[in-house]
Structure 1
Amino acid sequence: MLIQLFNSINYLCLLYSTLSMIMVNSRGQVIQQAQQYQSNQQQLNQFSQQSDSDGINQIERNERQFPGIEVLQGSEPPSRPIVHWTNPLYKPYFDTLPEDRNVTAQLGKSTFLKCRIKQITDETVSWVRQKDLHIISAGPYIYTSDQRFEPKHVENTDEWYLHIKYIQTEDTGTYECQISTEPKKSLPFYLSVIEAKSEILGGPSTYYQSKDTINLTCIINQTASPPMFVYWFKDNQVLGFQSQTVNPSDSRVKVSTIKGPITISTLEIHNSRSSDSGNYSCRPVPQYADPANITVNVLNGDNPAAMQHSNHFYKSNQQFNQHTLLMVGLISSSCTWWYWITFHGVFS
């Protein structure tokens, strides 16, 4: 009995020793694995730091190819070569012709201010009215409640426009085309607004004797460009325009027009009669100016006093017309030659 008890105790001691050894070995393996993992992690961190250092050195070596350029570590790569940021040869600049910066517009009509910019990339083009420093637009966005102003730009071109519709007298002044560089670049444009005028010489009324030649002269000036046509009316009925008459069979009527900075149109009616009396008007087309009117009275000789007044007035008016036409013709020719010389660069 004692022998069996001793053997059982001995077996239990042996089993306890075995389990203790297994637990010690397992704990040692866990510690060893943890140490191995920590060692591997340290090596990985060292390798990562070494790689980052090599990458920065590589960037610095690459940027040394561009002298004078400072590298900002940690910054995002530029959307275009960084040399464009510092080299003035790559910055945007204005390429607008001098004659495009002085714009003359007709009252009530439309006009464009044209701003040409070279080498522009992601900058914004703005239009500013100088007299009140009001920003009209920035890029495609409009910052004015006046719907007459509208910025325009055609993609893949170097031209930016400011479209002004139904021009008013108060629109006269300086406008600036601005580029959002640092510092900002701006180019001034001057807009002049003119109001065209038309006048029939000898008005508001004139007298002729029967069978005399009615001679009416219409002067149209202060126009941004010459009218395409000048129409003559009698009591709202068209008589002719330019060098044409509405009724070619009526050889008594003749119309002639000289276009220029000052446009001169004349209406002649030969062998006049009393039925030619009425209200005459000249109307430029497009209608830059309001029509000019004159009342023509053709007398049959029934009233000697009226005939005498008509003869005196007709002769004075005819002499005045001749002198005026000569002067206007000289002014028109001089202006035409001046424009030709200016735009063809004779003095340059």
Structure 2
Amino acid sequence: MLLSVPTAFPVEVEIARKGVFRLLRSRRNSRGNKVAMASGIIGIPDSLDLNVEYLPIPTHATITEHEGHSAEEPYFDPTVPRDVNAFRGKTAYLSCRIYNMGNRTVSWIRHADVHIISVGTYTYTSDQRYFILHDNTSGDWTLQIKWVSAKDEGTYGCQLNTQPIKSYYIMLTVVGKMPDQSTYPESWWEKENNLQHRMLADVANVPAAYIANEGDMYVSLGSTLNLSCILNTSDSQLFWYHDGEIINYDSLRGGITIIVEKSNITVSTLHIKNTSIEDSGNYTCSPSNANSASTVVHVIKGECFGSLIVFVCFFFSFLFFILTLIYLKCSESVDEGCDASVC
């Protein structure tokens, strides 16, 4: 059986048996046609127009299916976007989500030069723009690329060291520079569930993020901090940073959760329970394809509020006492011809 394959790579050929093949190498058959040797899930060396000849899958080969996975078989979440757009000079986030991973290892590969970017959470490159974000609770493995440029465009692979290797490929496209915020039209407010969502009324639908609690925030020591970030699109990922460091949801501190709601917009709410003085600082909501939004949080001891009230009350009481004395003094001196400028 012959199948026509487009020039883009990596190439997946869906067979009626639900086997997913990747091209390994090509050769000429007796009829002079280019034929791809394929078996299981493997990489391809180039991008060619090929006629693919169906070869039976060896009995030991693992077949990747989008549904009906066995309890032990690792597989990628097919709903994670395979096409990612990032503005030039901004940060790109390429993600894959793995289920039933077990003790296997995840690697990120750049196909342009077949370069291994990372193994696990360790990066194997001198380029400091690369960083691996991993969330144990969801099985997400995200490749972060800072300050992207046109040379970063291309295909990246998230690979799992199974036998044979399983891969999830993502195409990164770098688009023009993010427009300046001053060029945006006036924003409008939508009220939903008693939360004011600031969203951009932009005919170009430029992604924009806003933190609902704009300006400095003050919270009492030991209380719960709630921050909501609103993005006017649903096809982007949001990451939270505290003083420039990505927030670790699995830290020993505990009490940190994030709730994400998606409709025609995305709302990401950060909850930090039992706040401490160390939780003060700058909080940034950073989308994968839009400008970041930030706010400053001040965690203040409860007794400070009481002390402030006592000070204010004492000050105004003392001021009232002084003014009363002056008034009484002037009243006593009226009969003696008190100078008006003094009284």
Greater helix share, structure number: 1
Band of TM-score, shorter chain:
0.3 to 0.5
Greater C-alpha radius of gyration: 1
TM-score (norm 1): 0.34
More strand by share: 2
